[in-house]
Amino acid sequence: MTSLSGSSVLVVGATGGLGREFVQLLSDEGALLTLHGHSAERLAELGTFGATVAGDLSDSDTAAQLVSAALAAHGRLDGIINAAGVVAFGPMADVADETIDTLMAVNATAPMRLLRAAHPALTESSAGHRDPFFVTLSGIVSERPTANMAAYSASKAALAAFAQAAGREMRRDGIRFLDARPGHTETGLATRPIQGSAPPLPTGYQPADVARRIVDAIISGERDLPSTAFAG
């Protein structure tokens, strides 16, 4: 892929600190956007970048709804960037069942459902020689599981494992799976944990820089972005 101009792209988690950067960059590249957020009000704050759809990613019906919204808006779906996620902090012994369930539902299960729902549309995009892609962000914790973030690390490691295995399957269908694993990024997510509170963290990457690196990887045809790809 040398250009995103005219590509129909779904951004999941478009209202987050990283999602907003993707929206701006993809719009600048000329992509046709469908934007997902948990809140319709926050989606409205993005402006008129594309079609919008609100939905809870822990709901089993949401994935199909997002794909349907993209197809209704643009007649096709050529790429997905999953920038949504939740985080929790605290010792393993203190993590609540509800926290574990939510971490796995949003960070791991939702992207799996989304790829399954989008597979027919992405396969059709491949047949049209539009180089379809599916981007996940398992983050550095999938490479280096972190104490006091064990359940969160596990949910992201599950996503990374899914990316590796599904990526090999999707390659046969002409669909490119790209997993990005940046280190701590200043998205504000750490200030909104679903349990616990964040420990002191070093200054992270700027969301605009991380989003730019990932968009460049999409355009250049890369298939993997380890944590080292964001250093320097």
- The answer to whether the CB of 69 falls within 8 A of the CB of 83 is no
Closest of 129, 131, 158 to residue 142, by C-alpha: 158
Query: Given 22, 89, 133, 152, which residue is catalytic?
Result: 152
Alpha-carbon distances of 31 from 4, 11, 34, 67, 135, rounded to whole Å: 6, 11, 10, 16, 15
Q: Which residues pair with 134 in a beta bridge?
A: 80, 177
What is the enclosing helix (H) or strand (E) of 42? helix 40-45
Residue 143's Cα: distance from chain center in Å? 17
Q: Residue 145 — left, alpha, or beta (φ > 0 → left; ψ -120 to 50 → alpha)?
A: beta
- The answer to whether the CB of 83 falls within 8 A of the CB of 128 is no
- The answer to whether the CB of 88 falls within 8 A of the CB of 195 is yes
Q: Is 152 a catalytic residue?
A: yes
Q: Which residues pair with 82 in a beta bridge?
A: 12
The vertex-3 CA angle with 122 and 176, nearest 5°, equals 35
Active site residues: 152
